[in-house]
Amino acid sequence: MTVIENEFLKVAIRSQGAELTSIYNKAAGIEHLWQADPKIWGWHAPNLFPVVGGLINNELIVDGKAYPMQRHGFTRPSEFKLSSETTKHHALFSLHYSDATLAAYPYKFNFHIIYDLIDNALRVTYKVINLDSKTIYFSVGGHPAFNVPFGKTEGETYEDYYLEFETGEKLDTHMLSAEGFFNGETKPVPLDGDKLHLTRHLFDADALVFKKLNSRQINIKSTKSDYSLSVEFPHFNYLGIWAKPGADFVCIEPWLGCADSTTGPVDITQKEAIQKLVPGHVFEVSFYVSV
């Protein structure tokens, strides 16, 4: 386990998946990250690459050939290498292409996940380096799960919490089939002003997926406290919000990419919101968690 720390936050990351396992607010004495109860949902904050969401038949299509690829890609079980550049406030993990990755994703790459503490904020950076002689295509995103309630105020319940959007929104979620693919339907999500109230049944039909948000920041707040946690995602076009029904967490998921549609698989070059990177170039994007 790797730990980075400053006067505000103490953060732990494991090498498997370069996954966050703890975001601890030292002054408030609050653990903000879901602690991966395997009976409910056994992850903390998966990093998603080179796909986001599910693929029809669990296959990625590249140049007409099908490659086996699990939901959200192969980073979750992968062992990342910790860089010697790591300091007290900074940790860099890398996943280099290998025979195993080439069997599922026929591109040569280096994928870095970088964690930086900046005062009361944690910056999470995804960096993709194209080591191939051809353009590579990919999706990338985060899936952090935050404890709700925070545990700061006695007697709080899940229903006391809400998500506050940065700016005015008219929300429509893109509906998913039972298999996790977009079915072409949308459904309005009612707001109370700029607030989306959390309920135990909000995610009964799977994640809320927003493709046209004006906001680039979501605040998790309680009606019984002034304390809050913020997730800022300035350069991510899509946002997923999800919790396992009945569980005491909510995931705020910034995405560049999304699941397949029920209309059928398409070549990776034609996937919705796909990112492309020419040989020798570097792609970088960050989101922030602040307390």
CA distance between the termini of the chain: 23
The answer to whether residue 153 scores a pLDDT higher than 90 is: no
pTM above 0.85, yes or no: yes
Whole-number Å distance between alpha carbons of 104 and 99: 9
CA atoms within 13 A on the CB side of 279: 3
- State the pLDDT at residue 86: 87
Amino acid at 162: Y
Give the pLDDT band of residue 178 (cuts 50, 70, 90).
Answer: confident
Residue 211 structure tokens: 């493709």
Of residues 46, 39, 26, the one with CA closest to residue 113: 46
The answer to whether residue 198 scores a pLDDT higher than 90 is: yes
SS3 content of the chain, % helix, strand, coil (to 5): 5, 50, 45
Whole-number Å distance between alpha carbons of 9 and 5: 6
How do residues 76-104 score in pLDDT, each as one tens digit? 999 999 998 889 999 999 999 999 999 99
Q: In the CATH scheme, what is the code of domain 2-290?
A: 2.70.98.10
Domain boundary assignment for the chain = 2-290
How do residues 12-60 score in pLDDT, each as one tens digit? 999 999 999 999 999 999 999 999 999 999 999 999 999 999 999 999 9
Of residues 53, 116, 109, the one with CA closest to residue 255: 53
The DSSP letter of residue 56 is G
How do residues 102-148 score in pLDDT, each as one tens digit? 999 999 999 999 999 999 999 999 999 999 999 999 999 999 999 99
Whole-number Å distance between alpha carbons of 190 and 208: 12
